[in-house]
Amino acid sequence: MKLVKTLSKATLKKSACKGGCGECQTSCQSACKTSCTVANQKCENEKQK
């Protein structure tokens, strides 16, 4: 029986190569105006997809 299940693989390093295009939504323009939450923003870099 497996005792560890991976929910999400290592993604951060890979994202550093093509990231930073700045096309994604600014977090305060969604619903959040008083707390900073960035991890729920969608990537909008066409090269990343």
Binding site for other proteins (CB under 8 A): 1-13, 15-16, 18-20, 22-45, 48-49
Looking at residue 19, what DSSP letter applies?
Answer: -
In contact, 35 and 9? CB cutoff 8 Å? no
The angle at the Cα of 18, spanning 14 to 21, to the nearest 5 degrees, equals 135
CB of 47 to other proteins, least distance (A): 11
Rounded least distance, CB 11 to other proteins, Å: 4
Query: Whole-number minimum distance, CB 17 to other proteins, in Å?
Result: 9
